[in-house]
Structure formats: C-alpha cells, structure tokens
C-alpha cells in the first residue's frame, strides 16, 4: 500500500494556468466555431477601446474578417486601432502571458480585469491552426512601428516570438500612421449572420460607445460603418480603496500581513474607503482591539473580530458601526443622452426613453444601472422585444435567459405599459428594443466567458426600479399619442362637417351663414398643448416652445412643467416667461389665467448640447382640467427625482470628521401646488385663433 501511495504522489504535478485553459478553452468562450470568432473580435476590440479611452483618444477601430480556407473553416481576423500603441518590449507580455495586466488589483470600472482575453485568442489560434499571431504597434515618439509574431508556451505561460523587426506603417491613404496597434490572427472559426454574430456584437458595441467609430468589412467584402455621434469621451475613472463591507477573511488577513502601517488606527484610515475618524474608533471598540495596537500583533481572533465589526456582527453601543458609502468616481456611466444617440443611430423608431439611475452599492462595490427603450418604427409588433445587455460597456451575447439583466426585464408586468406579455411573465412582445447596462467595479459573471450576470438582490432591485420608471415613460407616450389622435380626428371632423351643415342650412332657410367659432369651442371643450423641440443651426442651441390653446368656455389656470437634460450639463437660456426650478431637470411656469379662446406660449433655449441630444420634451401640468398633449403631474415622480438628487449629492463624499456622516435620505413632505381655477362665470363664446394662425395640427382654423 505504501508503494501505491508513493507512486500516486509522484504522478502529481502542478499545471500551468495557460495549459489549463488550453485544455478547457470553452471557459474563455471558444466552445464553438461561430462563437470563437465573436470572442476573438470581442477581446481585440475591448482592448482597443480601453487603450484609446485611457489615452483620451477618440477611438477609430477597423475590423476585417477574411475566409482563408472555407472547407477547413480557417478565417483571418485583422483588428486595427488608433490607440497609443504598445512599446516593443511589452508586446510579448501583453499578448503572450496569461494573467498579465494592470487592472486586476484596481477597484474601478473596466472592460477587462484578469489579463486573459487577448492572450486567450493567441492561444486559440495556435491550438487550432498552429500559427502565431502577428502584432504590429507604433507609439507616437518613434518613427517606425514594431512588429512580431507571438505564440504561447503553455507549460511556462510565456510568450514565444519570431520575425521581430521594425517598419514604416502607412495608412490606406498613403499617410504615415502616427500611433496604434494592429492584430492579425488566423484561427479555426466560422462567420455567420444573425443575432449572435460579429456584426451584431459590433452594432451593440457602437450603441454603448457612441464616441467610437467602427468600420467592419465582412467576408463578402461588404463594408459596415458605425459613425461617431459624439466627441465626448467617457468620464475618466479613478481607482478607489476597498470598502469594509466587501472584505472577506482571507483578504483581510493578507492586507494585515502585508501592511506597513504603524498601528491599527493608521491601517483602517489608510486602506479603506468609507472609514472616518469616528467610524475607525467605533470599529476598534466593537472588535475589542485598541487602535494603538501594532499591526504585527494583530493576528488570529483579532482579525476575525475586526471582520465581524466590518460586517455588523459585532456592535458598538448596540448598533452596527455606520460607514460612509464608497466614492463613485470609479464609475463611468454612458449617460442618458448618449444612450439615446447610440440607440437612435442603429435602430429606427418613433420614441426613445433613457434613464441613468443614481449609483448604489452591493457588498461594498459601487454599481450603476442604465436603461433605454426604443419603440415603434420598423420593428415587428408580434415578436419578443430585442434585449440589449451590457456590462461595463461590453455586449453580452449569450445565455440571455439565465442573465440577471433579463430577469430584471421579466420581473415587470409590461402589459400595463403598452406591450404584450403572456400572463405578465417572460420577455414582452412588441415593436420595441430594451437596453440595460450595468456599470460596476466588480461585475459578477456566471462563468469565465463573461456571457451573463449572476444573481444579486441589490442589482436586481435597481434594475427593476429602472424598468418600472422607463415603462411609465412609455405609457405616458402612448396615452398622449392616443389622446392627440382622437382630438385631431374630432377637430378635423368638426371643421369639415359643421361648416358644410351651416352653409346648407343657411341656403335652405335663406339666411346668412352663422358664426361657428363659439359652437366649435363648446364641442371641442378641451385645452390642448403643442410642443416643438428643434435644433437651431445659427445659435447651436435647442429651441423649445410649449403652446397652450384653451378651446373651452371657461377661464383656466395651470402650472406647466417641462423636463430638460440638466443632469447632462444643459443650461436654460432665453426663458422670458420665468418660472422656477421644481427639481433636477424639471422647470415650472404658473399661468394664472388662460382665457377662453386664448393661446399662450412658453419658449426657451437649451445650451450645452449637441445636435440630436434633445429631441422630445415631456410636458406635465397641475390643474383641474386635463390638457391634451401633456401629462397630469404625479407628485411621486417629483419625490423620486428629489430623492435621487439627494443621493447624488451625498454619494462619494468622504468627510474626515464624523460630521460628514448622514442617515439615509429622508424626503421632506411635498407641498402640492394646486392650480387656482376661477369660479365659473358667464363668458362670451370663445373666439378661434385669427385666420392664418397655426393650430395644433399645423393648419388654419
């Protein structure tokens, strides 16, 4: 028996990480020929986008797929970018060594973390075709580009290189390339069209990266071009320190063992976010460890007690120690206007609604949910809506049904918002596409292939709230559209039929044709709002006009409210009507009296926007009589905006003193403004707008 044990022990040996992935390539997304090509393109494009954004360069990326041997399913992939380039000495490490990267220990939003992606592509090419990957790169300070053929020694997890040298790199137009990287790889893969294709991946990438220009040439030679719709780069993210709520025992043990801090007080203040002086004192007391304890003496039970204080299991004065939330400058959301631009440039529709939730925290890690909904156009009404899932601006192409983001969509009863949904469950049907994006410092995937998000209660709840709010916007749009259509039909019917009846009756009775404006007003009996939002080429501003028509026989009074993209940096100009700010991105004007037959206009301009940023203004009202073309003000809507505004003001603010600690935001009682409507009185029949004056539907009355 002893001999067998020794023999078994002698057969055991350590496996290199690269050798492990070589035998388990499906972990990295190389489990089918079609999917392998998408994975390879994804890794190269993600690296290009990351490099450009870190160097603050607007990305221009060119991808070309060519069939080398159709019978053996061998294809060539070429991905070229205009990034900062890679120094010659670093090329072999970046492309030929797994787990080599700069982002694994950084707590900030990033597309890649582990340093596996592009090296996995090199490994897959070598495994399936036996060929190396050709890399060419140029940095701005050097006159020529470096090139090298990279392979991978999987036993040593080390690059092999051949044919290294330097050359002048010319662009297609004959000019010299200033900087950038080009990757040429041949692999066993299959190009296909459809929902899960390279084209779909690049289309989705262009939506959430509207600052990027992407050019794709497919194997048939067809060129697909997604243009850049903004020159504003994503917000630059900063690395943050770990938060105590996200620390585990092994990690805390390692941090303490490697610490150079003098004592526990310094350790807590220097190594964690969310820990103030007050919190540091309370954590030490809850853990029953003096803050002056030398770090070398903090061991065993002390570390466990400290972790229990972090997690609220050990209390201070009967309560868990209160910590500040981690700062959120580690996140870079796409933002509402840019999501709208990205969706609009790739999908034709009649209505777009976008929403960026305020940052939240799960297990000490900041995250942010963004959603978009595009409705109408040429999309099929009898098929499930298109779901566009993203994590840190990267499209998720597979395992849609098992993804947390899909579950957040399915958790909403979309029937009440105008979409079909059997039993109120599952993916809804209708002419729509739903986008959902998670920006996070620690995206929890279901597998190494990064295809779907794992379950998380906090992320799920934020996603559900975002969907509900977006659904309400769709319902308002559909209701407004329906009311306007009915009003237009009624208005046109009255204007066609009544004059004809009056003229015929007058001829029969041999009497003059009566004045009909008062009768038309009584029949219409409605207050109508017409809103135009247009880009002004001369002023480079967005001009907004809200016009109210009182087609009733009574004097009316309203408070008119309008949304505007204040959160995206827009400023309100030329607002001669005045009014006041109700909440972030909501402005209000009080109209004391709107006489029968009267027309009132509210006009202003929005600066700080680009063309196409703001194309539709939502108008709301307070008052007793409905306004067709506007939405009745829901005070809960304002409360939610003010709550999120308060969270935004409080999030990420580290105070050195305990005075900086706040409780959860509390909403103040809402003062509900009620429009003052004058008592009913006898008035003359309303007079229609003068001849030639533009009405709601663009004609003359």
CA distance 114 to 97: 11
**Cβ count near 518 (within 10 Å):** 17
- Pair 207, 258 in one domain: no
Does residue 89 contact residue 147 with C-beta atoms inside 8 Å? no
- Pair 441, 364 in one domain: yes
In the prediction, which pLDDT does 179 show? 94
Which of residues 226, 261, 291 is at a domain's end?
A: 226
CA distance 295 to 424: 57
619's tokens: 């108008």
Q: Consecutive sets of 10 residues in the chain, 701 residues long: mean pLDDT of each?
A: 61 51 59 87 91 93 94 93 91 71 64 66 87 93 93 79 91 88 93 88 92 94 91 88 89 90 91 91 92 89 91 90 90 87 77 87 90 85 90 89 92 90 87 92 81 91 92 82 73 75 82 74 78 91 92 88 87 92 90 87 92 84 84 77 70 41 39 38 38 38 31
Nearby residues of 316 by Cβ (< 8 Å), 6 or more positions away:
282, 283, 285, 286, 309
- Pair 420, 553 in one domain: no
Q: Residue 332 to residues 105, 369, 462: CA-CA distances in angstroms?
A: 18, 11, 17
300 is a domain residue: yes
- Pair 207, 253 in one domain: no
CATH number of domain containing 417: 3.30.230.10
Tell me, what DSSP letter sits at residue 500?
Answer: H
CA distance 115 to 124: 15
What's the structural domain count of the chain?
4
318 is a domain residue: no
- Residues 575-594 pLDDT 10s: 999 999 988 889 999 998 88
Element (H, E) at 517: helix 517-524
CA distance 54 to 137: 17
- Pair 209, 282 in one domain: no
Which of residues 198, 226, 254 is at a domain's end?
A: 226
List alpha helices for 294-356, DSSP H. Answer: 301-310, 336-346
- Pair 185, 81 in one domain: yes
CA distance 400 to 389: 8
Instruction: Tell which residue, 230, 59, 226, has the closest CA to residue 609.
Output: 230
- Pair 447, 386 in one domain: yes
Which of residues 165, 196, 226 is at a domain's end?
A: 226
In the prediction, which pLDDT does 19 show? 53
In the prediction, which pLDDT does 130 show? 87
Mapping DSSP to helix (H, G, I), strand (E, B) and coil, where does residue 460 land? Answer: helix
Instruction: Tell which residue, 411, 392, 390, has the closest CA to residue 400.
Output: 390
501 is a domain residue: no
320 is a domain residue: no
Does residue 96 contact residue 158 with C-beta atoms inside 8 Å? yes
212 is a domain residue: yes
Instruction: Tell which residue, 167, 192, 190, has the closest CA to residue 177.
Output: 167
Instruction: Tell which residue, 188, 124, 694, 110, has the closest CA to residue 441.
Output: 110
12 is a domain residue: no
408 is a domain residue: yes
480 is a domain residue: no
In the prediction, which pLDDT does 371 show? 94
- Pair 406, 367 in one domain: yes
Does residue 108 contact residue 330 with C-beta atoms inside 8 Å? yes
- Pair 400, 442 in one domain: yes
Does residue 668 contact residue 645 with C-beta atoms inside 8 Å? no
In the prediction, which pLDDT does 349 show? 67
In the prediction, which pLDDT does 678 show? 38
Sign of the dihedral defined by the CA atoms of residues 152, 157, 162, 166, in that order: positive
List alpha helices for 100-231, DSSP H. Answer: 117-129, 198-208
- Pair 391, 528 in one domain: no
CATH number of domain containing 287: 1.10.8.50
56's tokens: 């603050």
CA distance 547 to 601: 4
CATH number of domain containing 548: 2.60.40.1170
Does residue 574 contact residue 603 with C-beta atoms inside 8 Å? yes
112's tokens: 């890649």
Question: What is the domain extent for residue 254?
Answer: 244-310
CATH number of domain containing 215: 3.30.565.10
Q: Residue 87 to residues 84, 90, 135, 166, 176: CA-CA distances in angstroms?
A: 9, 5, 12, 12, 18
- Pair 624, 527 in one domain: yes
- Pair 186, 61 in one domain: yes
CA distance 614 to 571: 12
């Amino acid at each position: 028996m002893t001999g067998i044990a020794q023999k078994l022990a002698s057969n055991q040996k350590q496996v290199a990480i690269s050798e492990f992935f070589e035998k388990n390539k499906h972990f990295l997304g190389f489990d089918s020929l079609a999917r392998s090509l998408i994975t390879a393109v994804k890794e190269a494009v993600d690296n290009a986008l990351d490099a450009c954004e870190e160097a603050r360069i607007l990305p221009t990326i060119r991808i070309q797929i060519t069939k080398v041997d159709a019978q053996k399913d061998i294809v060539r992939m070429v991905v070229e970018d205009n990034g900062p380039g890679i120094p010659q000495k670093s090329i072999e490490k970046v492309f030929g060594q797994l787990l080599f990267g700069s982002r694994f220990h950084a707590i900030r939003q990033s597309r890649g973390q582990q340093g596996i992606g592009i090296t996995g592509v090199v490994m897959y090419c070598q495994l399936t075709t036996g060929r190396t990957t050709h890399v060419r790169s140029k940095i701005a300070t050097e006159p020529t580009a470096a090139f090298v053929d990279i392979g991978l020694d999987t036993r040593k997890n080390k690059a092999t290189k051949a044919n290294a040298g330097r050359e002048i790199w010319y662009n297609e137009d004959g000019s010299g390339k200033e900087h950038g990287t080009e990757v040429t790889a041949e692999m066993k893969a299959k190009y296909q069209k459809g929902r899960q294709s390279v084209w779909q991946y690049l289309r989705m990438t262009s939506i959430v990266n509207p600052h990027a220009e992407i050019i794709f040439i497919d194997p048939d030679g067809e060129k697909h071009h997604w243009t850049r719709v903004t020159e504003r780069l994503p917000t630059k993210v900063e690395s943050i320190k770990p938060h105590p709520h996200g620390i585990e025992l092994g990690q805390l043990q390692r941090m303490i063992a490697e610490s150079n801090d003098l004592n526990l007080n310094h350790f807590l203040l220097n190594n964690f976010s969310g820990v103030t002086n007050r919190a540091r004192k309370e954590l030490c007391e809850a853990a029953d460890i003096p803050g002056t304890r030398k770090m070398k003496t903090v061991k065993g039970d002390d570390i466990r007690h400290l972790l229990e204080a972090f997690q609220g299991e050990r209390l201070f004065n009967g309560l868990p120690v209160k910590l500040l939330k981690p700062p959120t400058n580690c996140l870079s959301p796409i933002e509402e206007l840019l999501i709208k631009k990205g969706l609009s440039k790739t999908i034709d529709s009649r209505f777009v609604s976008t929403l960026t939730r305020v940052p939240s925290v799960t297990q000490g890690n900041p995250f942010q949910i963004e959603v978009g909904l595009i409705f109408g156009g040429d999309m099929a009404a009898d098929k499930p809506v298109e779901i566009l899932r993203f994590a840190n601006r990267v499209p998720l192409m597979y395992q849609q049904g098992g993804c947390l983001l899909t579950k957040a969509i399915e958790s909403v009863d979309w029937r009440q918002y105008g979409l079909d949904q059997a039993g109120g469950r599952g993916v809804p049907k209708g002419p729509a596409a739903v986008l959902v994006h998670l920006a996070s410092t620690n995206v929890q995937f279901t597998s190494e292939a990064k295809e779907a998000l794992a379950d998380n209660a906090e992320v799920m709840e934020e996603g559900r709230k975002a969907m509900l709010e977006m659904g309400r916007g769709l319902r308002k749009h559909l209701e407004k559209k329906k009311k306007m259509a009915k009003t237009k039909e009624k208005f046109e019917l009255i204007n066609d039929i009544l004059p004809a009846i009056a003229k015929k009756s007058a001829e029969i009775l041999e009497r003059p044709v009566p004045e009909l404006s008062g009768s038309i007003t009584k029949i219409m009996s409605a207050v109508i709002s017409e809103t135009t939002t247009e880009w002004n080429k001369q002023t480079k501003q967005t001009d907004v006009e809200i016009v109210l028509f009182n087609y009733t026989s009574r004097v009316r009074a309203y408070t008119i409210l309008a949304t505007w993209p204040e959160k995206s940096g827009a400023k309100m100009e030329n607002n001669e009507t005045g009014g006041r700010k109700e909440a972030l991105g909501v402005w209000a004007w009080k109209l004391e009296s709107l006489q029968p037959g009267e027309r009132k206009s509210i006009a202003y301009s929005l600066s700080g926007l680009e063309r196409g940023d703001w194309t539709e203004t939502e108008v709301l009202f307070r008052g007793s009589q409905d306004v067709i073309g506007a939405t009745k003000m829901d005070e809960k809507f304002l409360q939610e905006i003010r709550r999120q505004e308060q969270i935004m003001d409080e999030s990420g603010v580290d105070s050195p003193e305990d005075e900086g600690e706040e409780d959860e935001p509390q909403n103040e009682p809402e003062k509900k403004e009620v429009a003052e409507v004058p008592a009913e009185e006898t008035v003359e029949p309303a007079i229609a707008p003068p001849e030639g004056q533009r009405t709601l539907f663009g004609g003359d009355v």
